[in-house]
Amino acid sequence: MTQMPASADLVLETRDMHMAFGGLVIFERMNFSLRRGERHAIIGPNGAGKTTFVSLVTGLLKPKSGAVMFEGRDVTRLSPQERVKAGMVRTFQINSLFRALNPLESVVLALLEREGKAHLSLRHVAAEKSLIGEAMELLHQFGLDRDAYALTEALPYGKQRLLEIVLALALRPKLLLLDEPAAGLSTQQGHEVFARLAHLPQETTILFIEHDMNLVFSYADVVSVFAAGALVLSDTPENVRKSPRVREVYLGN
Ligand SMILES: Nc1ncnc2c1ncn2[C@@H]1O[C@H](COP(=O)(O)OP(=O)(O)OP(=O)(O)O)[C@@H](O)[C@H]1O
Ligand SMILES: [Mg+2]
């Protein structure tokens, strides 16, 4: 395994993170690191603990022992909301509130949240011209500007997935975490999602779980392989593809 030296470049680290659900041990000791600017994919078989890992990092779950470090700070005891404020954002599932709004309203609400102005009602938002401009720009980056005034729940599924990413980006994450952003999309739509992510500023670090190896090998610059409660390898896509051990545990097809 490639040893990553401790450095100020590390955005995320887990140190000896141990996790179990009752008697089911998910991670014995997970030591993982992520550098600033990486487009980092997590791959591995079903049930390997990929989603659990993201939940531990974002605070939805608490590890039994060990630590989660974000930008050099121990965040293990912070709530999910506190971690969002610190700059760690996972994609939202479109919820019932947002389904009844249009994408522009949803993004403006997320921007108001970020600016600590969530108490303003949408009626007063008209005065916040710069926020509306920023919301339209974000929608434009993800090809949703023409859908700004459409009913969210009436949007095609692919556009709803793009909107989830836009809502996360509205919070200006330093680290964006995506759990299978292309799930349920066509091959072409999956590539569109990743092509748009590829255009984000380099300082936005992206950690994504993905089963589609074409997407992983096209867009990741580091790939981590999870299997049987352990990090098997964290390396360049090329080295991961060549690794006999990885082929054995996952890419055997
Ligand atoms: N809340 C929970 N309570 C009990 N067991 C859980 C819980 N969440 C996940 N598990 C179990 O933990 C293991 C890891 O699940 P997880 O969802 O993290 O896997 P995954 O790698 O994301 O899989 P997939 O590729 O199918 O999404 C599985 O055996 C799962 O059944
Ligand atoms: Mg999962």
Integer CA distances (angstroms), 174 to 49, 168, 221, 232, 240, in order: 23, 11, 17, 26, 26
In a domain, 4, yes or no: no
Give the per-residue pLDDT at 8.
62
CB contact set of 202 (below 8 Å; sequence gap of 6+): 37
> Do 74 and 59 share a domain, yes or no?
yes
| 63 lies in some domain | yes
Q: Same structural domain for residues 136 and 113?
A: yes
Mutational test site, ligand 1, from 17, 18, 21, max ligand atoms within 8 Å of CB:
21
The atom of ligand 1 lying closest to the CA of 226 is 21
Per-residue pLDDT of 59-71, as tens digits, reads 999 999 999 999 9
- Number of domains making up the chain: 2
Centre of ligand 1 from the C-alpha of residue 35, in Å: 26
Q: Is the pLDDT of residue 204 over 90?
A: yes
CB 49 near ligand 1, within 6 Å: yes
Per-residue pLDDT at 4 exceeds 80: no
> Which-ligand-closest: CA of 21?
1
Q: Is 183 in the pocket of ligand 1 (CB under 6 A)?
A: no
- Examine the domain organization and report whether 83 and 190 are in the same domain: yes
What region, left, alpha or beta, does residue 175 occupy, with left being phi > 0 and alpha being psi -120 to 50 degrees?
beta
Is the beta carbon of 21 within 6 A of some atom in ligand 1? yes
Same domain, 46 and 151: no
Range of the domain at 128: 93-172
Q: 186 and 250 share a domain?
A: yes
My answer on whether 103 and 140 are in the same domain is yes
| Residues 82 and 177 placed together within one structural domain of the fold | yes
Q: Flag whether 44 is in a domain.
A: yes
pLDDT of res. 130: 87
How large a percentage of the chain has pLDDT more than 90? 78
Does residue 14 sit in the same domain as residue 112?
A: no
The dihedral through the CA atoms of 124, 126, 131, 137 has a sign that is positive
Residue minimizing CA distance to atom 9 of ligand 1:
52
Residue 152 lies in a domain: yes
Kindly state whether residue 82 falls inside one of the protein's structural domains. yes
Which atom in ligand 1 lies closest to the alpha carbon of residue 61? 1
Domain's final residue, options 172, 201, 234 = 172
Where residue 98 falls among pLDDT bands split at 50, 70, 90?
confident
C-alpha of residue 101 to centroid of ligand 1, in Å: 32
1 lies in some domain:
no
> Whole-angstrom Cα distance, residue 215 to residue 178?
13
- With respect to residue 2, please indicate whether it lies within any of the assigned structural domains: no
Claim to verify: residue 80 and residue 183 sit in the same structural domain? yes
Give yes or no for residue 52 CB within 6 A of ligand 1: yes
- Answer whether residue 3 is part of any domain: no
Mean pLDDT of the chain: 91
Q: Looking at 103, 138, 172, which one is the last position of a domain?
A: 172
Tell me 1's DSSP state.
Answer: -
Q: Of 147, 172, 197, which residue is a domain's last?
A: 172
Looking at the fold, whether 107 and 146 belong to one and the same domain comes out as yes
219-232 pLDDT tens trace: 999 999 999 889 99
> Which of 61-70, 92-101, 126-135, 183-192 has the least mean pLDDT?
92-101
pLDDT tens across 35-64, in order?
999 999 999 999 999 999 999 999 999 999
Residues 22 and 77 in one domain: yes
